[in-house]
Structure 1
Amino acid sequence: MIENGDLILHYLQRLGVKYVFGVPGGSIEPFYNALARSERRGGPRAIIARHETGAAFMADGYARETGRIGVCCATAGPGATNLVTGVACAYADGIPLLVLSGQPAIEKFGRGALQDGSCTGINTVEIFTHCTRFNTLVSHTAQLEPKLLQAISYAISNRPGPVHLSIPLDVMREAIDPSEDKGQLRAFINHEVTPSQEAMHLVLKELADKEKVTVVIGEGAAGAIDEILAVVESRNWLFVTTPRAKGLVNCFHHRYRGVFGFAGHESAREALLPENAERVVVIGTALDEVSTSGWDTSAIMSRRLIHLSSNAEHLSRSFLARLCILGSIELMLKPFAALLERSPMRKDQVLLQDDDGLPAMIDLANRAKCLADSGPVKPQALMTKVSALCPDDTRVLMDSGNSFLWGIHYWNCKRPKGFNRHRSLFHIGIGFSSMGWAIGASVGVAAGAKGAPVVCFTGDGSMLMSGQEITVALQENLNVLFIVLNDSSLGMVKHGQQIGGAERIGHALPKIDFALMAQAMGIESYRIERLSDLDRIDIPGIVSRPGPCLLDVIVDPEEVPPMGARMKVLTGAQ
């Protein structure tokens, strides 16, 4: 006989899941007993976070890196409610998570049990309703397997996202016959569908005679990125990316004009203007504030738009579009792949950089500051230098606030040819934009990356919220380089108040030596006060060896990040 916790882990093992991120507690204890047994037999094992929100962030990062479902768990009551922020982040970004929370034994419902999260206590199942694709209480053993399989199906569907099972203590520990593990997981693969022949004909007709076309690559284009670039190169079109999709391309590609949207580039906006784009083809992204530069009607949001995605939600705001096509971009382009490869018109990827080593075709704001090496550290120069020093396959995560503003604009992805087409090298948790997301998510990415280099940029505000999670990287011996942008303030709040004419309140932070803090935790660390201080540190070596490292970088607090589009939305300016 086995317990229901073992049954769950058997399914996770069949799905290729290696880790479950969480924090133990009384009501989830039977599942941790099952995790201990699983680890002994070489199955999925537990990674213990310091806070349940961090566990959800880690599961998010693991899912992004591996393409598998991320799994996190927590005990009843506050354990479950602590998960909510991390689950909401995954929901907003469409990241598949299986979220497991405990409950007191069913017979204790309504009797004032400790940490009661049932319908007769603080109803935690109800709390998860609006940030999950599927959400249910498993009230008895007969429900567990079908509800687990239903949840997994929702999580990894064409509308991926988190799912939540709340499982009472007595149900989780109930003994069952091992033969109960009989679900057919083949039902959960090959969700992708080919667009109709009529739809494909309409797209081809729209684009056949157009010389000036700009393609907007979104995060949902990952599996088809090679075919998309082949089309661009054979037709000599321009392309840009959304902020979320920056890590799918090489920033030095000769037809790439940068990021359009939140903290994006002027060259990307220009590539989308009517004089440069008779048609704008948007692939695999929703038309939200982040990807449209605050719904800029001169660029994406126009009658020139052709919107393609396998996610129906992405198309729900495309009321201006000439065409909206639902279906797999990979399957749409697959019949043309061989033809595109042999096209005499195709000019293969050429990497262009200027004399300073910066992308030649991207209009960087304050370009000279990318090379500033004297005085206080310029964030522009920090991003430029670290991206140049890191290996080409470095996974980088940018935390909410100034970090992702600087990173979207100035980090140079050097995506190598042949890199996994389904994976990105640049990650932001921008849908819900929770501070501290990147700290936990980088641990999850590193757990799934099998020793590949991982860099996490975060701010001092986020470190004060969630910095304890760096000790998980230490305990698991994961090679993550944490870089703290230390300006003794909530930088995005500070600059936003200044630009928007708001009261200057609540942004100041104490001066903290995060290098000393990391040392106290047993983590290698360095304090960087001048850009030249980086020259004494072997960054390629650090990101290539096991174990975490932290750089406490004292950045120039007066440098204003590229946040113009965001300020227009906040202030109502046009």
Structure 2
Amino acid sequence: MSNYPNLLIDVAMHHLKNQGITTVFGIPGGLIHPFFDRVEQDEEFSVVVARHEGGAAFMADGYARASGRIAVAAATSGPGATNLLTGVAAAFADGVPMLVITGQAPSHTLGRGAAQETAREDIDIVGIFGPVTKYSAMVPSPAQFSRHFRRAITLALSGRPGPVHLNVPVDFWQQPVDEPLVASTAIEPSRPVDLPAVELAAAFLTQAQRTVVLVGSGASSLGARRLVEEVATHLGAPTATTPRAKGVFPEDHPLSLGVCGLAGSPAAQSALVEDSVDTLLVVGASMNETTTFNWHAGIGHERRIIQLDIDPARIGRNYPVDIALVGDTEATLAELLKRLQAHDSSPQPATSAIPGSRSIPEIVNVSEGSSAAELGPAVWRAELNHALPSDAIVFSDIGGHMLFNLRHLQMRNDQRFILNMGFGSMGHGTVAPIGASLGCPGTPIIAIVGDACFTMNGMDLLTAREYDIPVVWIVENNQGHGISYHGSKLVNGGRAMQCIVNNKRISAAAIAGAMGIPVWEVDQPGQIGHVLREAITVSGPTVIEVHVDAEISPPLAERAKTVAGFRND
């Protein structure tokens, strides 16, 4: 216990350390200067200064997704705070825990029109963050900071995780607080399990003749991944994943159906709408548009649905559910496995699998879709599958390259795939890997992004260069916004928008080279594997630019139907 009163900044640092937080992503500014100044002086903390506050939020998001630990993004008031919004919204949409701290004008000036004031009387920053956080509040006095901090962290980690926001007037940081700095344990999320529902689900699954499992990102923790595999193996049940959960169930597993939904495998689509399936076990998936082929009626036709989710609002939202398992994914799966084993001590052979269900992302011939001078997107991904490290974390940005990633990459046992599918923000997959590398030191981090994503948020590669953060960016360059180009052809009767095609060629390699980052260029089959192995050996950031034929369309027919008018035909 320390002597007190302490300054508010001392109390804040104490709480952050108790929670295990030692990295802050952001950009310092006048109205949050005392916070950043103290963080910089503390040897236990690291400050990662982004090139844009949006990038700082993406980095904090990537840190949390990869490590499973809450992250911090901080910015000054006014535009610094509003620049964070897209990254915070991406975290909120996908259930990623994040503490957001923003600056505010001095408390004695609020309501008087101070520079960059964002109080309720003017631009209400607390209100702006409200819809994209689980908790958003201005700290009303130094004495109230601890109460707001504890409440915010508890909400960020409980139930479905998500970001929380605290707005602190700049003069509060240096004011005294009559509060001792007492050592305490970190706030941990509760892990509820509905045992009667689990028992009923086990009985249903034991009696089922043809079960299919659909796994969502709610099962992305290491423990949940292992338990999903054990449950599926015990049941002998073919297993598909949502697009965002790609790789949560290993795609080289005999029961894997691959990705179901957007750009997914035909085997997964067939299984999810197959009439002979009598039971569908949904684990940590909300059954949204991108997973269900625009809410295909066949998915819920004449079958029992058992749905597990921490958030009761997501259960039964799109399809009627026979058994609702509201609870922590990992804890509930552990109890379900125990009861399945008790009902039937011998695991089921994989004979209940739908014939031909073996998934594996499509492998193409080297000549398919490529000219003599340019490489097809499917071709180099087929080669990349053999070169990816066994423990790689692969990020995908949003665009045509994402669809090729979903269809043609194969995520194996200990590999992970991260995609901000909920909000679908371009730039996330370009910047979030920087945070992931800091959250998982020593793990190979590879980002597969498009040239449009790279030019939208690529200046934050300078952040990776500044701190020697080892990320390998693979920039697939088709000289434009590929998904919009090909999508417009599908919805416009073959006429493609031309405003999204680069009239003047962009070189990602030249841009990265100007940053002082080692670069490679790939334009022929047989090159990507060797180049990736070389890039991974570099101690800092690297960029591989892959030149592809822009006329090769990604697999987006189902999405185009949705854009054209929510048709199921």
So what's the TM-score if we normalise by structure 1? 0.90
Deviation at 1:370, TM superposition (A): 8.9
CA distance in 1, matches of 2:210, 2:498: 48
Amino acid at match of 1:488: Q
Q: Deviations over 1:499-530 (max 9, x none)?
A: 11166243122311111111110100112222
Partner of residue 175, structure 2: 174
Contact between 1:247 and 1:427, CA under 8 Å: does it hold in 2? no
Unaligned 5+ residue runs, structure 2? 351-355
Between the aligned partners of 2:192 and 2:465, the Cα distance in structure 1 is: 43
Residue 63 in 1 paired to residue 60 in 2? no
| Structure 1: distance between partners of 2:169 and 2:474 | 40
Deviation at 1:277, TM superposition (A): 1.5
**Residue equivalent to 1:321:** 321
Is the contact between residue 97 and residue 162 of structure 1 (CA under 8 Å) also seen in structure 2?
Answer: yes
* Partner residue, 1:398: 396
* Structure 1 match to 2:34: 30
TM-score (normalizing by structure 2): 0.91
Q: 1:269–1:299: 8 Å Cα contact kept in structure 2?
A: no
Q: Distance in 2 between matches of 1:303 and 1:181?
A: 56
CA drift of 1:5 comes to 2.8
Q: CA 1:315–1:468 in 2, change beyond 3 Å: closer, same or farther? A: same
Q: d(CA) in 2 for partners of 1:34 and 1:533?
A: 48
Paired residue secondary structure (1:233): helix
Partner of 2:501: 508
Q: Kindly tell me: are residues 8 and 238 of structure 1, through their superposed partners in 2, closer, same or farther at Cα, counting changes over 3 Å?
A: same
The answer for the alignment partner of 1:387 in structure 2 is 385
For the structure 1 residues 370 and 453, does the alpha-carbon distance in structure 2 shift closer, same or farther, using more than 3 Å as the test?
Answer: farther
Residues 30 and 370 from structure 1, CA distance in 2 versus in 1: closer, same or farther, beyond 3 angstroms?
A: farther
SS of the aligned residue for 2:290 comes to: helix
How far apart are the structure 1 equivalents of 2:385 and 2:464?
22
2:358 aligned residue (343, 356, 361): 361
Change in CA separation of 1:219 and 1:3 when aligned onto 2, cut-off 3 Å:
same
Q: Could you tell me which runs of 5 or more consecutive residues in structure 1 were left unpaired when the two chains were aligned.
A: 349-358, 417-423
CA displacement 1:94-147 (0-9 Å, x = unmatched): 111100100110112233322121223322221111111100111210111100
Map 1:157-556 to 2 at 5 A. Answer: 157-176=158-177, 179-182=179-182, 185=185, 188-197=187-196, 199-222=197-220, 223-299=223-299, 303-315=303-315, 317-335=317-335, 337=337, 340=341, 344-345=346-347, 361-362=358-359, 364=361, 367-368=364-365, 375=372, 376-416=374-414, 425-501=416-492, 504-509=497-502, 510-534=504-528, 537=531, 539-556=532-549
Q: Contact 1:500–1:567 (CA<8 Å) still a contact in 2?
A: yes
Aligned residues: 550
Whole-Å Cα distance in 1 between the matches of residues 375 and 548 of structure 2? 5
Q: Residues 226, 370 of structure 1: CA spacing in aligned structure 2 closer, same or farther, 3 A cutoff?
A: farther
Report the 3-state secondary structure (helix = DSSP H, G, I; strand = E; otherwise coil) of the residue aligned with 1:244. Answer: coil
User: SS at 2:545's partner residue?
Assistant: strand
Q: Counterpart of 2:136 in structure 1: which amino acid?
A: N
Note the C-alpha offset of 1:449. 1.1
Give, in angstroms, the shift of residue 236 of structure 1: 1.6
C-alpha distance in 2, partners of 1:51/1:311?
Answer: 33
CA contact (8 A) 1:21 1:56 kept: yes
Counterpart Cα distance in 2 of 1:204 and 1:337: 8
Change over 3 Å in CA distance of 1:414–1:319 after alignment to 2: closer
Give, in angstroms, the shift of residue 165 of structure 1: 0.6
Q: Is the 8 A contact 1:270 1:276 kept in 2?
A: no
Distance (Å, rounded) in 2 between the aligned partners of 1:239 and 1:276: 15
**Could you say what secondary structure the match of 2:375 adopts?**
coil
> After the TM superposition, which residues 40-59 of structure 1 pair with which residues of structure 2 at under 5 Å, given as runs?
40=43, 43-59=44-60
Residues 528/13 of structure 1: CA separation in 2 closer, same or farther (3 Å cut): same
Deviation per CA, 1:365-386: give whole Å up to 9, x if none: 5733697776311111222222
CA distance 1:568–1:238, shift in 2 (3 Å): same
Q: Which residue of 2 aligns with 1:351?
A: none
Secondary structure of the residue aligned to 1:224 is helix
Percent of matched pairs sharing the same residue? 31
**AA at the equivalent of 1:345:** P
RMSD (CA atoms): 2.4
